[in-house]
Structure formats: structure tokens, C-alpha cells
């Protein structure tokens, strides 16, 4: 697999030389400064490519993460033809510049969601964490969403009430900031009234309606992606459950099958995120990887440790509940199949997703979940698994 690293651009605290030192050869990035729905011009794409190439480190921009889907497309609101046209033009421009793997998501309003960004680990390290009772406290007592109490168990509601009653204004503000932190590309952070307004735009939109809007998006863009040789790869929901009354439509194997069947083109693929899917109590990540291996165009490899109440913690890359050796083995076997098929793009780009805050990264202003050292550690561990599996099974790396 091609070893890549996410980079948030020239303002990222993590620098390109750091990424090269980690042993990665591919860069995963996006033009975050361009507003959603606006065309990514060839000039802007080439500017970012030159920035990476001019570092002289042998790094290449290999994956776009993300080419964002405008919120109006997700909600199905208004005349969407101009937005579809702009998205198609961005795909054409990316293909013109030689970038042919595009990761995106269809999560309404929020991206990945955690309630704690610095959950303590032994020795002073920290991890991202989702606490079910803090999420319920925010949902029921800060958002004051109608009917929210019915969506939480009595046990979680009791803990949520206790947390809220004991919390200070600063603790509540921190919880809001933590929930907003999963929007690294948008840089748009809501306050509580703003989040309420954003959620209101989805009033009356359930899972069926959101799925219908997604199918409309696929019908509008996949033919162009196929025409120009772009592999689109949708990212699973994180966490794979409804949030704040918003439906989620890419949370399990059934959801993925429906999406891939909606457009049988190879250009309609998905990103295997072992952590996002792994947070679902009923998701068997190796089984999902094996079932849909032919349509995996990109892999986020990370792990989570789940708890019975729906809480979970970001674990070590080779720890947690998902058998990472099994996942890597499936991906390497799929690479071999593609190579034997004669495909030039037989290698699957992967990146170590999220990482613990360790050592000198503690306290640095890195993007939440994306400290350098924790991801370097994860990549080294995953590289070891890849090399061992490849040697044992005589599989190409």
C-alpha cells in the first residue's frame, strides 16, 4: 500500500519535512481556503502541487481529502444544478492535474464528532474520546432539542443530568468547542444558536430523504468522474449513528452496499475507515473490507475501543477492537488481485488516521486527532504489519 499522510496545507503545524521523516511518500490534502461549492481552479490545484514538489522531498499529492459536498446538496435545498456543475468542473480540473483519488463525505452539518479531545492516557499522553453521557448532556440540555431525551437510555440520561448540573460555563463551552473540532476543512464553528439553525435546515429530512439526496449527487457526478478517470471514495459516518436528530446513511455494510449498487461504476467507491466503522457495535470491519474490497480506493487505518453504553476511545493503531492485521491482509490481497488484473493503479493509498498526542506534541496547536508523533508511531506499526504480511503471503507492497 502507498503510505500517505494527511497535511492541512501551509498553515499546518506539521511540516512536509516531518512527513517525509515519518517515511510517507504521498500527501493527502485539500484546498481548505476555497469555500464549499466553488470550483477548484487548475491554477489553485497546481499551486498546491508545486508547494509540495518544491519542498524537494519526493512527496506527491496523491489523494484529495476532501472535495467537500455543499450543504445544500445534502439537504436537497434549492437549485442544485450550479453546485453540481461546479463539482464536476473541480473533478475535471483535478484529473487534468493528475490527481485521481477524491475522498469526500455526506455527513450533514457535522463531520467526525468527539466530546473529549485530550482524554488522559498513562504517562501524560492523550486521545480523542466520545463520551455518551456528555453527548447526551449537550443534546438534551445545551441544544435543548425537542424529543432528544427519548433517544438516550435512562442510565445515560441520569449521568448526563449529573454532568450538566455539576458543569461550569467553561466546561460547557469546552464541550461545544470539542464537538465543533471535527470540522478541520470547513473552519466554520457554530455556537449553540448557530448549530440549532443549521440543524433546522434538516427538519423533515430522515434517512430515506438524505439517501435520496445522495443518490442524486452520485447521478450528477459519477459519470464525469468515470469520464476523466477519477476514483470517488465516500467516507463512512463518524461515529456511525444518528447525531442531534440528523440521519446517517453510511454507517454499516448495508448502507455501503446500497451506495455502491446505486452506481456500478468503479469510480463510485468508498474509503475504508477502520476507526469510523469500528465505532459501530455491530460492524465487523474485516468482513466489510473483504466484502467491498474491489471498491476500496483509499484506507484510513486507526482503531477504537468501544464501551457498552456507546462511548469509545481512540486506541493504539494495533490495539482496540478491530483486528488490524486482518484488515491489512485483505487490502494487500486486493492489491495483488488488481496487479494481476493489469491495473496501473493497483496500489491502495493508506494513511494512519488520527493519533495519540505524545511526547513533544503535547500542547502543540495541531489539528485535533492529527499530532505528528502519534501518527508517525501509527504508521511505523502499520508498516511493520504490512511488511510481515507481505513476506508471509508473498504479496506485493
Q: List pLDDT tens digits, range 244-280.
A: 999 999 999 999 999 999 999 999 999 999 999 999 9
Residue pointed to by grid coordinates 475522498: 103
Q: Is residue 59 part of a domain?
A: yes
In a domain, 151, yes or no: no
DSSP 130-192: E-HHHHHHIIIIIS--TTGGGGS-HHHHHHHHHHHHH--HHHHHHHHHHHHTT-TTT-----H
How far apart CA 106 and CA 215 sit, in angstroms, is 11
Residue 24 has pLDDT above 80, yes or no: yes
Q: What digits encode the pLDDT tens for the residues 58-109?
A: 999 999 999 999 999 999 999 999 999 999 999 999 999 999 999 999 999 9
Please name the helix (run of DSSP H) or strand (run of DSSP E) that holds residue 117, with its range, or none. Answer: strand 116-120
Name the grid cell of 72.
Answer: 445544500
Buried (b) or exposed (e) across 122-141, using 16+ Cβ within 10 A?
Answer: eeebbbbbbbbbbbbbbbbb
Residue 188 confidence class, pLDDT cut points 50, 70, 90: low
Q: Of 378, 273, 299, 362, which is closest to residue 13 (Cα–Cα)?
A: 362
CB 211 within 8 A of CB 249: yes
pLDDT classification of 182: cutoffs 50, 70, 90: confident
Question: What does the pLDDT average to over 115-134?
Answer: 96
CATH at 310: 3.20.20.150
pTM for this prediction = 0.95
Active site residues: 235, 273, 300, 353-354, 370
Residue 171 belongs to a domain: no
pLDDT at 184 over 70: no
Q: Does the residue 385 lie in any domain?
A: yes
For residue range 323-357, list pLDDT tens digits in order.
999 999 999 999 999 999 999 999 999 999 999 99
Q: Is residue 125, in this structure, part of any structural domain at all?
A: no
- Please say whether the beta carbons of 334 and 1 come within 8 A: no
Domain span at residue 233 reads 2-113+200-393
Q: Is the pLDDT of residue 237 over 60?
A: yes
Q: What are residue 344's phi and psi, to 5 degrees?
A: -75, -30
What average pLDDT does the segment 230-252 reach? 96
Whether residue 119 is contained in a domain is answered as no
| pLDDT band at residue 190 under the 50/70/90 scheme | confident
Helix and strand element counts for the chain (H, E): 14, 12
Helix (H) or strand (E) holding 103: strand 101-104
- Judged against a pLDDT cut of 70, whether residue 186 lies above it is answered with no
Residue 157 lies in a domain: no
Choose between 376 and 110: higher pLDDT: 376
Is the pLDDT at 185 greater than 90, yes or no? Answer: no
Angle 253-262/207-228 helices, nearest 10 degrees? 50
Are 245 and 143 spatial neighbours (Cβ–Cβ below 8 Å)? no
Task: Reply yes or no: is the peptide bond before residue 239 cis, omega within 30 of 0.
Answer: yes
Number of structural domains (the chain) is: 1
CB distance 277 to 288 below 8 Å? yes
Q: What mean pLDDT is predicted for residues 199-210? A: 95
Percent of the chain surpassing pLDDT 70:
99
Average pLDDT, the chain: 96
Task: Please check whether residue 277 lies inside any domain of the structure.
Answer: yes
Amino acid at each position: 500500500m502507498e503510505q500517505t499522510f494527511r497535511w492541512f496545507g501551509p498553515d499546518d503545524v506539521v511540516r512536509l519535512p516531518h512527513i517525509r521523516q515519518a517515511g510517507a511518500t504521498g500527501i493527502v490534502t485539500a484546498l481548505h481556503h476555497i469555500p464549499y461549492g466553488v470550483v477548484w481552479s487548475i491554477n489553485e490545484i497546481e499551486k498546491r502541487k508545486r508547494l509540495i514538489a518544491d519542498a524537494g522531498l519526493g512527496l506527491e499529492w496523491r489523494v484529495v481529502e476532501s472535495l467537500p459536498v455543499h450543504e445544500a446538496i445534502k439537504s436537497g435545498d434549492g437549485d442544485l444544478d450550479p453546485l453540481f456543475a461546479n463539482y464536476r468542473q473541480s473533478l475535471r480540473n483535478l484529473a487534468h492535474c493528475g490527481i485521481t483519488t477524491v475522498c469526500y463525505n455526506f455527513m450533514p452539518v457535522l463531520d467526525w464528532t468527539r466530546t473529549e479531545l485530550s482524554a488522559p492516557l498513562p504517562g501524560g499522553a492523550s486521545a480523542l474520546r466520545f463520551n455518551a453521557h456528555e453527548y447526551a448532556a449537550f443534546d438534551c440540555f445545551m441544544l435543548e432539542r425537542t424529543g432528544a431525551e427519548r433517544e438516550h437510555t435512562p442510565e445515560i440520561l441520569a449521568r448526563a443530568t449529573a454532568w450538566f448540573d455539576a458543569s461550569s460555563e467553561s466546561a460547557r463551552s469546552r464541550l461545544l468547542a470539542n464537538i465543533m473540532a471535527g470540522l478541520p476543512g470547513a473552519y466554520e464553528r457554530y455556537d449553540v444558536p448557530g448549530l440549532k439553525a443549521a440543524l433546522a435546515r434538516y427538519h423533515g429530512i430522515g434517512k430515506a430523504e438524505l439517501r435520496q439526496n445522495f443518490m442524486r449527487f452520485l447521478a450528477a457526478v459519477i459519470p464525469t468522474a468515470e469520464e476523466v478517470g477519477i476514483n470517488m471514495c465516500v467516507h463512512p459516518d463518524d461515529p456511525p449513528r444518528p447525531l442531534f436528530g440528523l440521519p446517517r446513511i453510511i454507517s454499516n455494510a448495508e448502507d455501503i452496499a446500497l451506495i455502491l449498487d446505486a452506481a456500478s461504476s468503479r469510480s463510485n467507491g468508498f474509503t475504508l475507515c477502520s476507526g469510523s466503522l469500528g465505532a459501530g457495535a455491530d460492524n465487523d470491519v474485516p468482513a466489510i473490507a473483504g466484502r467491498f474490497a474491489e471498491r476500496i480506493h483509499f484506507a484510513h487505518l486507526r482503531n477504537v475501543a468501544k464501551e457498552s453504553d456507546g462511548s469509545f476511545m481512540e486506541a493504539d493503531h494495533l490495539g482496540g477492537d478491530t483486528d488490524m492485521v486482518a484488515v491489512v491482509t485483505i487490502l494487500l490481497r486486493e492489491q495483488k488481485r488488481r496487479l494481476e488484473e493489469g491495473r496501473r493503479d493497483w496500489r491502495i493509498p493508506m494513511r494512519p488516521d488520527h493519533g495519540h498526542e505524545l511526547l513533544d506534541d503535547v500542547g502543540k496547536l495541531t489539528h485535533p486527532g492529527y499530532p505528528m508523533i502519534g501518527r508517525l508511531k501509527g504508521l511505523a506499526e502499520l508498516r511493520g504489519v504490512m511488511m510481515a504480511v507481505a513476506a508471509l503471503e508473498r504479496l506485493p507492497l
